[in-house]
Amino acid sequence: MWQALDIETWIAGRRSDLDQVRAPVSEIIEKVRSGGDGTLIDLTKRFDGIDLVDIAVPDDEREAAYDLVDAELVESLVQAEVRIRDFHELQRGRDLWLQEMEPGITLGVKTTPLARVGAYIPGGRAAYPSTVLMCAIPAVVAGVEEICCCTPPPISPITLVALDIVGINEIYRIGGAQAIAAMAIGTETVPAVEKIVGPGNIFVTAAKMLLRDTVEIDFPAGPSEIAVLADSTANPTFIAADILAQAEHDPSAACVLVTTDATLADSVGEEVRRMAKGAARRTIIEEALEHSGYIIVDDIDEAVEAANRIAPEHLSLQVADPLSILTQIQNAGSVFVGPYTAVACGDYASGTNHVLPTAGYARLYSGLDVNHFCRRSTVQMITKEGLEAIGDVVETIADAEGLCAHAESVRVRRRR
């Protein structure tokens, strides 16, 4: 349940499950493409054991959910929403900026929000109202006008309350790869979207990646993972607690400790085993821990190199001088600095986004933010004076490329 890991084998293993489900997920996508709502109803019966009467959630069901949720929880969601919104407001750029680069040449960027996006909210093993906040708030801040949500049935009242808090009233009770296909392709009930965001299991992640020619996605965001980079000063109980917090998400969750101290690795293992025995989600945790463990390195430089190769979703720095290490981190979805920065704080209420790339994709993608919901167009305004300044350059290069009409489009203006 807690073992030494070979870094190469562990890294490769995080994507192997994804490859194995591509064929069945492709089959589900084609069924939704040809069968629409009928397929969604059939697959919901098959996978969730639920006979759907209505795919869409009516307004009165969403509003009635407040009566089923403790008032303190509602208030906590409201407070988390404020913190998450405040952080994401800082990411919002100017809708249009223009800068005169030289006399007669003004350049800039125009930012336009996407018109319609879809958010996938996992369900099944747990309710995830926090993921509702993380997916919807940056879209709202960006100015997206239409935001829909798919989540597996039965939908928890907590999830419905979170959706109401952020202002989403287009909700569909469908999950899995079929939900991704519905949002990407469109059905009689579910209009197609321009982009799909949100985490999910390997079937959801595979569907998102297979449908990238049809719809844009945020990034692969599969089962949760954590890497802890620690030295001899770290608290083994804190590390074990963070590991269990991510392990309880999913049997496929991946957790790894990278440390310079073999004694610490043993101590963390003892704490992991002790804490797992009393965990509410013990079965899930123990399955996740079967492919989790530790990597011993010779020094901090090697630890940093290992962390950058792993490119984890969550990276916890529990070392004597974490800020000096932070400057060397290149690949991580989100970084948690110091012993008291529990990863769970970022999951819920510090304000940063918890929808992050997994399985090493932090080498290629950044976590969900406001920019994911925008298109940017460059803008240029050139006067006669500006055209004279760059005309010779444009004409010379265009002629060299053999694109005579390009050059002539400038010459004709200069002649006039």
Instruction: Specify whether the CB–CB gap between 88 and 370 falls below 8 A.
Output: yes
Question: What SS3 class is residue 325?
Answer: helix
Higher pLDDT, 116 or 17: 116
- Set 314, 354, 372, 395: catalytic member: 314
pLDDT score of 298: 96
30 is catalytic: no
Confirm whether pTM is higher than 0.85: yes
Average pLDDT on 7-36 reads 89
* pLDDT at residue 3 greater than cutoff 80: yes
Catalytic residue among 225, 248, 271, 313: 313
Q: 105 CB contacts (<8 Å, ≥6 apart)?
A: 380, 381, 382, 383, 386, 389, 390
The closest of 318, 255, 260, 315 to 285, measured between CA atoms, is 255
Question: At CA 342, angle to CA 87 and CA 74, rounded to 5?
Answer: 60
Q: Catalytic residue at 372? A: no
Length of the chain: 416
Dump pLDDT digits (tens) for 186-236.
Answer: 999 999 999 999 999 889 999 999 999 999 999 999 889 999 999 999 999
Residue boundaries of the structural domains of the chain: 18-218, 223-363, 383-415
Q: Specify whether the CB–CB gap between 248 and 285 falls below 8 A.
A: yes
Q: In the predicted model, is pLDDT for residue 261 greater than 90?
A: yes
Evaluate whether 18-218 and 223-363 have a shared fold: yes
**At 117, which amino acid appears?**
V
Residues 143-154, mean pLDDT to the nearest whole number: 97
Q: Which of 40, 208, 209 is nearest to 119 (CA)?
A: 208
Contact residues for 254 (Cβ-Cβ < 8 A; gap 6+): 10, 13, 14, 223, 224, 225, 226, 288, 291, 292
For 296-333, write each residue's pLDDT tens digit: 999 999 999 999 999 999 999 999 999 999 999 999 99
The pLDDT of residue 416: 80
Domain 223-363 top-level CATH class: alpha beta
pLDDT band, very low/low/confident/very high, at 182 (cuts 50, 70, 90): very high
Domain 18-218 has CATH 3.40.190.10: no
Angle at the Cα of 200 from the Cα atoms of 93 and 78, rounded to 5 degrees: 55
Distance CA 356, CA 363 (A): 12
The number of CA neighbours under 13 Å toward the Cβ of 200 is: 31
The rounded Cα 350 to chain-centroid distance in angstroms is: 16
pLDDT at 11: 83
* Whole-number Å distance between alpha carbons of 4 and 20: 26
Q: For 43-63, what is each residue's pLDDT tens digit?
A: 999 999 999 999 999 999 999
